[in-house]
Structure 1
Amino acid sequence: MLLPEIAKYVRRSENTLRWLRHQGGPDAPPLWKQGRRLVAWKSELDDWLDEQRQADSKAGERACSDMEAVRVKDYVRHLVETAPPLKPEVIEQLRALLFSS
């Protein structure tokens, strides 16, 4: 496939694809020069798009688990701070147990 076809297929501009290729790294599309043209195999583009999707879903999973941890911590902090009066040493033990990081 030629660059205009690739851009249309992956729904990114030609300039973005050139820039990603220039930057290199794991996010770079599998493009190479054939003479003066940038080209790619469709099967390699499909693999690259799958890798991008998998990387994004892993990032989303990490973000969700981090957000859940924050929500739980905030909820427990709220419970501890609004609970009926406890002995000060019990409160300190709970705070040390729950909020030390």
Structure 2
Amino acid sequence: MKSYLLLIIGMAIVTYLPRLVPLMALTNRKVNKKVEDFLSLIPYTSLSILIARGILTSNDEMILASIVGIGAAGIISYIKGNLVLSVLSGILLSFIVLNITI
């Protein structure tokens, strides 16, 4: 039991350090505008990678729901520019398409 606790504490430290070190290093420093613009795109890039992987690995019965979901998320993201709203709309439309009985 004690070794599991040490393992969990070690994993927590290793997970938290990459977040803490840049925060401490960049506190009270002005970041270049290009770097700031690049870092602002990371959430959208990460989401795009996850969605593309999900579509490429979806089975035949989920392909239509995946395409509808990514389409809805892309349109909402383009119109509104809201990441949370686009993700929720994509999930909702995918759920609706999966549960429609023809």
**TM-score bracket for this pair, using the shorter chain length:** 0.3 to 0.5
Provide the TM-score with structure 1 as the length reference.
0.34
- State the TM-score, normalized to the length of structure 2: 0.34
Higher gyration radius (CA): 1
Instruction: Specify which structure has the higher proportion of strand.
Output: 1
